[in-house]
Amino acid sequence: MPDALKNHHSLFRFGVYIALISYLGLLPVGLRAQEQTFVPYDVKKVEPEDFSIESDLIDNDTEAIYLFDLGDSNLDISTETVLEFKRLFRIKILSENGLDLANQIIQLYIGRKDEEKIGKVKGGVYNLVNGKVDFEKLKNSDWSLEPYDENHKVTRVAFRNVKVGSIIELEYSIFSPFIFNMPDWEFQYDDIPVLYSEYYIRHPENIGYKILKMGYHPLQSRLITTETRVNSPQGIITNSTVKKVYAYACENVPAMRDEPLMDSPENYRTKIITELHYIDYISETDYFYKDWEASITDFIEAGEHEMFMTPSDKDNYLSLDTINCTTLLDSINVIYTKILEGFSDSEEPNALIIRKKPQDIIDSKKATPNEMNMLLVSTLRANGIEAYPVLVTKRSQQRVLKEFPLISQFSLSITAVNTEDGYMLLDATLSNLAIGEISEKYYNGDGLVVNKEKVEWIPIVSNEPTSESCSIEFGSFEENKLKGVMRLKLSGIYRSRIKNVLRYSSSSELTKFLDINENATITFNEQESDLHSSPLDLRFNIMLKLEKFGSSYLLPSIIYKSMANNILKEKDRNYPVNFPDAWSETYTCLVHLDSEKYAVNIPENANFVLPDDGGNFSYLGSYNLGNLLIRNKVDLHKNTFLASEYPFLRQFYDLISTSHSSFIEITEK
């Protein structure tokens, strides 16, 4: 389902890019600093002029625009605990692609003993007919409630007579007995800009929430307090208490669109999320999701994790002979290899909480990725090696919000071995990875070590830096062709990327993957390569055909991984540039020529240093005594560049592109 069609209401969503954390019931310092007075949105009837909208948010790709989007969550405990979430919005359809918005989907949660209910559904479609506003009211038959899965129902609303230019209006309330989350509120959608969005959170003072205001677009906000009488049958404080109202508003919010070299958009989306923090009873105060220490304990005690992490008898696990291993690394390698080779994918859902016992997994010879890593931890421990599960997220997902101590933010577990030099990471699910090597899909901030003794966050990166060195030497130049050898040394992400390609790809596929010049042909020399070294050491034979114009030959300035096309083409940028890792690339090309036969014209040398030591680029060429030498080096010393740094980074790539798109002219004398 398109994101734009999904309802705001969701019980379990977690933000990542945090601008503010506060506890409802307390006015945070950060909120005071940003507090602005604003008048609640005045909903007026639709007039003919509302059909003519001019906004910088609209471009040729804009399919619709929210005229306003208003939400209100009100927790009432006066008779029974009920959370009412109200929403009212109007959307103007701008193109044929926007007609899908005539079908709205609202999700409702089903618990073990209770469920959410929907009511007060109304709305309709406005069209401009002969200069007058025509309104077609939503009928009861236009919306229906349907089962979705065991935990959800959905309400489907189908508007009639929707066309390009129509304005859709929908209003409804969701009544929920579940108070662990106030409904999240997104001020920003993937495809649809928003002219105005407003959200209210109302609750008694004696029920406290953590609230996060997140994203890149400024919010207006304020706190309102009102005196109310609370008469609660659940034992909550019954004296006169303060009801607090938090209000947030955001104007002219652009559609969230992917940009080159961007990690998950959820890290930057403007939104509000909450979690229940405490309930203040007459006799005591109950706290929820108190800290990471408690969450780790809960995770270990869930499922069979205690059994995985406290093996009592080595014979209950894989029978491994590590007696002849002289180092810790040797022992780890024996166990790691045994796990990698001993199990196939069970093709079951990859649940983070594992319900199977270790021995049952061993007997079946099948495991999910999370089960394999938990089994690796267990086997390492059973053989006297200190190891822990590490909870991580994929790069395509939101980064974990450390201020919300919820295990449900994670999706995967890998393995960490505690050594004298710190933690060494392992992943038992990818056979092409060496010990200490992690797939770039896990490069998404820090991971949480599952250790009852202390809370530890560790960076999820390979032990080796991400670097690449390419050296090419051409010793023969005959009939327009240069022939020679190419050597690659790769570590970190570059190393893991290429190993599967080497194993399963043809020569043409390998040439394409390595981004070799289209006029070059390479052949992998496995005999002289070292596939187990660190960094990885690969050798190739290479032949390059040069284009000839008159008496001159044109040699591309860069043959391997040319950046002739600037990947940062857009002049402006809204969000950070985020590489998986800081990286370094070095390129050297040596061509032996007959100095008496050939003259050489080399492009201009280039050099650029990013501000604040963010990185550097250099391109140097020389020709001396028949030896043509080209050196190119690109280093980025950090993986994230803010939008404010983008102009410098774009200039950096522009200069690289200019140097890499040039040619060296070799002329016959």
3-state SS string for 567-597: CCCCCCCCCCEECCCCEEEEEEEEEECCCCC
Q: Are residues 247 and 310 in the same domain?
A: no
**Nearest alpha carbon to residue 536 among 485, 497, 587:** 497
Q: Are residues 193 and 268 in the same domain?
A: yes
pLDDT at residue 616 is higher than 70: yes
Q: Are 280 and 208 in contact (CB under 8 A)?
A: yes
**Total count of domains within the chain:** 3
pLDDT at residue 232 is higher than 70: no
Instruction: Sort strands 194-204 and 64-76 into parallel, antiparallel or unpaired.
Output: parallel
Greater confidence (333 vs 15) lies with 333
pLDDT per position as a tens digit, 53-95: 999 999 999 999 999 999 999 998 876 768 999 999 999 999 9
pLDDT at residue 111 is higher than 80: yes
pLDDT per position as a tens digit, 12-21: 222 222 333 3
Domain endpoint, select from 287, 320, 353: 287
Task: Please tell me the predicted confidence (pLDDT) of residue 456.
Answer: 96
Most confident listed range (2-11, 109-118, 320-329): 109-118
Q: Are residues 591 and 575 in the same domain?
A: yes
CATH number of the CATH domain containing 328: 3.10.620.30
Most confident listed range (284-298, 376-390, 641-655): 641-655
CATH number of the CATH domain containing 140: 2.60.40.3140
Task: Please tell me the predicted confidence (pLDDT) of residue 201.
Answer: 93
Q: Are residues 353 and 218 in the same domain?
A: no
Domain endpoint, select from 271, 287, 303: 287
CA distance 493 to 309: 30
Task: Please tell me the predicted confidence (pLDDT) of residue 21.
Answer: 36
Q: Are 409 and 401 in contact (CB under 8 A)?
A: yes
Peptide bond into 459 cis (omega under 30): no
Q: Are 120 and 72 in contact (CB under 8 A)?
A: no
CA distance 59 to 417: 52
CATH number of the CATH domain containing 497: 2.60.120.1130
Q: Are residues 231 and 92 in the same domain?
A: yes
Task: Please tell me the predicted confidence (pLDDT) of residue 11.
Answer: 27
Query: Quick check: is 183 in a domain?
Result: yes
pLDDT per position as a tens digit, 585-606: 999 999 999 999 999 999 999 9
The residue type of 399 is R
Q: Are residues 128 and 152 in the same domain?
A: yes
Q: Provide the CA 365 distance to its chain's centre, in angstroms.
A: 32
Q: Are residues 576 and 496 in the same domain?
A: yes
Q: Are residues 446 and 472 in the same domain?
A: no
Place of tokens 């859902």: 349
Domain endpoint, select from 252, 272, 287: 287
Query: Quick check: is 51 in a domain?
Result: no
Q: Are residues 147 and 267 in the same domain?
A: yes
**Nearest alpha carbon to residue 474 among 547, 549, 559, 535:** 559
Q: Are residues 273 and 301 in the same domain?
A: no
Query: Quick check: is 48 in a domain?
Result: no
Q: What are the tokens at 612?
A: 């604040």
- Confidence band for 37, pLDDT divided at 50, 70 and 90: low
What secondary structure letter does DSSP report for 39? P
Instruction: Please state the rounded mean pLDDT for residues 141-164.
Output: 94
pLDDT per position as a tens digit, 194-223: 999 999 999 888 888 888 888 888 888 777
Query: Quick check: is 47 in a domain?
Result: no
Question: Which residue range forms the structural domain that includes residue 315?
Answer: 292-459
- Confidence band for 347, pLDDT divided at 50, 70 and 90: confident
pLDDT per position as a tens digit, 423-476: 999 999 887 788 888 889 999 999 999 999 999 999 998 888 999 999 999 998
Q: What are the tokens at 604?
A: 């201009």
Query: Quick check: is 79 in a domain?
Result: yes
Residue-wise burial string across 220-237, b where 16 or more C-beta atoms lie within 10 A, e elsewhere: ebebeeeeeebebeeebb
Q: Are residues 421 and 475 in the same domain?
A: no
Query: Quick check: is 491 in a domain?
Result: yes
Place of tokens 């690969």: 538
CA distance 618 to 287: 56
Task: Please tell me the predicted confidence (pLDDT) of residue 211.
Answer: 86
